[in-house]
Amino acid sequence: MDDCQKKYERLQLLFKNAPSTLIGIDPNGSLTDWNIKAEIAFGRKESEVVGKSFLQMLVAPSSQESVENLFRETVTSVTEASKPIQINALKKDGSTFPIELVLIPIRTKDDFTIYARFLDVTEAKKQEADLKKASKFLNAIVENIPDMIFIKEAKELRFTRFNKAGEELLGYSQADLIGKNDYDFFPQKEADFFTSIDRNVLDHKRLVEIPEEPIQTRYKGQRLLHTKKVPIYDENGQPEFLLGISEDITEKKQAEKTQRKLWQEQEARKEAEKALQLRDEFISIAAHELRTPLTTLSLQIQLLNKFAPHLDTAHMAKFSSMMASSQDQLNRFEKLVEDLLDVSRASAGMLIVEKTKENLSDIVAQVTKSLEARLTKANCQLKLTLDSSVIGSWDKIRIEQLVINLLSNAIKYGPGKPIEIIAKTENDKAILVMRDQGIGIAKEDQERIFNRFERAVSVKKYGGLGLGLYISQQIVTAHGGQIHVQSEIGKGTTFTVELPLS
Ligand code: ADP
């Protein structure tokens, strides 16, 4: 075998076993050569096809015209391989399948054969169809999400994508929006704001959330959006797009506002009802409190009237004791009325203080003296620790009233127990401490007892209008000071007052 023959055989083998589907056709369109891949692809042996029309044998009727045209062109004028065309090929069993065809004219000195190379595109077609399906699915999702979704390219922040919800919200069609940026649709200030956030997202490669952003729309006026913006990266990890998702929260916010208003109104109504109830309670307590001294007084006056004509030395002592008791009841009555007046003054912000130079220790000493009878009657021992000069600028009458209120409570809520009063100066402040060992005040009541009409004891057991501490606090506040309570149920109570010296 000479070299030429060997080479021919090698090429023959290469053609037969080539990994592509290859066939040879003579210029008349009859099949001349057929390789193994062709056998597999078309389901026919070489012996069945050689000499037959390749068009009839291998091409589905739907593609015959285009293949015939390409073949004619290749035979007559073309010297190079044709452009690939997509055709439907025909199998032996009559089924068809898509395939890509290239015709390659091979001319030698005394032979002209056209080789056809087929490339199976079934897989590629399937992949393309799958891709189309997936992208259609994704599109459907993006289009039907009820939130606005938009994509901007990273360079000039122009819109490249906008969904239906976005169109409806902004009032512009996709065609209007694509290729434009925020400055084409929104007022300068708004556009500046959106753009600065976009840049932040892209420059720092991070998600940015804007819980509430107002946006001017074409037909729906101003709306409130909750927006999230995220960068989308290219294959090098650089932000290529910006994805934005915006939920229209205008109605939600409005509903929240209405709900809040409703709730506030409800609270106000509850407050008003409570105030009304408190007022009714107060009126009944006040009536009771005011009636007690009046009843006693009127009884005593009746008795005095009865005794007056028969007065002799024997009745004189009885007479003066009744006079003293009447005075007591009158004082009590007066105090109740004064307290009521103070409450209305304080509520109207008219608790005026007239300051003069005073010594707190002196005021305490005077007050304790005036309440000596009550202290003795209640069997309360008094311990006074009064610095000699606790000098400051205060309203004497009001400070007296404060000491009376605190000491009266200490007697009322701690009969039979000792009471301690301290007056001293500490860091530019006068300190007054009133300590008893009485019934004490529960933790949960310690704040509210300073409010008007608030009491932490039963009406039946202890009389009172619940005004003493309120007025005391008003007096202290009017002097720029503070009052605190420390107490434990059953152990006693300490009130501490701090008053600025000037
Ligand atoms: P009132 O004594 O007329 O009820 P106050 O305003 O003086 O009114 O006091 C409010 C409430 O605080 C009292 O009802 C009582 O429950 C409580 N309270 C005040 N001082 C004392 C105290 N020294 N010990 C125990 N409880 C007290």
Centre of ligand 1 from the C-alpha of residue 491, in Å: 15
Centre of ligand 1 from the C-alpha of residue 456, in Å: 7
Q: Which helix (H) or strand (E) holds 430?
A: strand 429-436
Residue 259 near residue 245 (C-beta atoms within 8 A) = no
Centre of ligand 1 from the C-alpha of residue 403, in Å: 14
For residue 413 and ligand 1, the question of a CB distance below 6 A is answered with yes
The torsion of the CA quartet 288, 292, 293, 299, rounded to 10 degrees, works out to: 140
pLDDT of residue 37: 92
For residue 409 and ligand 1, the question of a CB distance below 6 A is answered with yes
Q: How far apart are the C-alpha atoms of 141 and 163, rounded to whole Å?
A: 10
pLDDT digits (tens, 9 = 90+) for 385-431: 999 999 999 999 999 999 999 999 999 999 999 999 999 999 999 99
Which atom belonging to ligand 1 lies closest to the Cα atom of 414?
Answer: 24
Centre of ligand 1 from the C-alpha of residue 415, in Å: 14
Instruction: Give residue for tokens 């107490």.
Output: 487
Q: Which two tokens stand for residue 484?
A: 């605190």
Residue 152 near residue 241 (C-beta atoms within 8 A) = yes
For residue 465 and ligand 1, the question of a CB distance below 6 A is answered with yes
What's the pTM value of the predicted model, to 2 decimals?
0.51
Within 10 Å of residue 88's Cβ, how many Cβ atoms?
15
Strands 391-394 and 356-359: antiparallel
Backbone angles phi and psi of 35, in degrees to 5: -105, 180
Q: How far apart are the C-alpha atoms of 290 and 22, rounded to whole Å?
A: 122
Which of 335, 411, 417, 449 gets mutated to test ligand 1 (max ligand atoms within 8 A of its CB)?
449
Which of 332, 441, 443, 473 gets mutated to test ligand 1 (max ligand atoms within 8 A of its CB)?
441
Which of 455, 487, 495 gets mutated to test ligand 1 (max ligand atoms within 8 A of its CB)?
455
Centre of ligand 1 from the C-alpha of residue 500, in Å: 25
Backbone angles phi and psi of 41, in degrees to 5: -65, -45
Which atom belonging to ligand 1 lies closest to the Cα atom of 450?
Answer: 6
Which atom belonging to ligand 1 lies closest to the Cα atom of 457?
Answer: 16
Centre of ligand 1 from the C-alpha of residue 408, in Å: 9
For residue 492 and ligand 1, the question of a CB distance below 6 A is answered with no
Backbone angles phi and psi of 382, in degrees to 5: -110, 130
Q: How far apart are the C-alpha atoms of 435 and 265, rounded to whole Å?
A: 43
Residue nearest to atom 25 of ligand 1 (CA): 440
Centre of ligand 1 from the C-alpha of residue 469, in Å: 7
DSSP codes of every residue in 231-265: EEE-TTS-EEEEEEEEEE-HHHHHHHHHHHHHHHH
Q: How far apart are the C-alpha atoms of 369 and 362, rounded to whole Å?
A: 11
Of the candidates 392, 401, 359, the residue with the CA atom closest to the CA atom of residue 481: 392
Q: Which two tokens stand for residue 201?
A: 């997202």
- Residues with pLDDT less than 50, the chain: none
Amino acid identity at 15: F
Centre of ligand 1 from the C-alpha of residue 332, in Å: 17
Residue 396 near residue 360 (C-beta atoms within 8 A) = no
pLDDT digits (tens, 9 = 90+) for 176-192: 999 999 999 889 999 99
Q: How far apart are the C-alpha atoms of 289 and 285, rounded to whole Å?
A: 6
For residue 464 and ligand 1, the question of a CB distance below 6 A is answered with yes
Q: Where do runs of H (alpha helix) occur along 145-233?
A: 164-170, 174-177, 188-204
Residue nearest to atom 4 of ligand 1 (CA): 466
For residue 483 and ligand 1, the question of a CB distance below 6 A is answered with no
Centre of ligand 1 from the C-alpha of residue 455, in Å: 6
Backbone angles phi and psi of 408, in degrees to 5: -60, -45
Q: Which two tokens stand for residue 119?
A: 């490339």
pLDDT of residue 1: 64
Q: Which two tokens stand for residue 325?
A: 């008791």
Q: How far apart are the C-alpha atoms of 9 and 24, rounded to whole Å?
A: 17
Of the candidates 271, 197, 268, 270, the residue with the CA atom closest to the CA atom of residue 229: 197
Residue 391 near residue 424 (C-beta atoms within 8 A) = no
Q: How far apart are the C-alpha atoms of 208 and 200, rounded to whole Å?
A: 8
Which atom belonging to ligand 1 lies closest to the Cα atom of 466?
Answer: 8
Residue nearest to atom 19 of ligand 1 (CA): 409
Q: How far apart are the C-alpha atoms of 256 and 260, rounded to whole Å?
A: 6
Of the candidates 64, 54, 7, 62, the residue with the CA atom closest to the CA atom of residue 26: 54
For residue 244 and ligand 1, the question of a CB distance below 6 A is answered with no
Centre of ligand 1 from the C-alpha of residue 426, in Å: 27
Residue nearest to atom 7 of ligand 1 (CA): 468
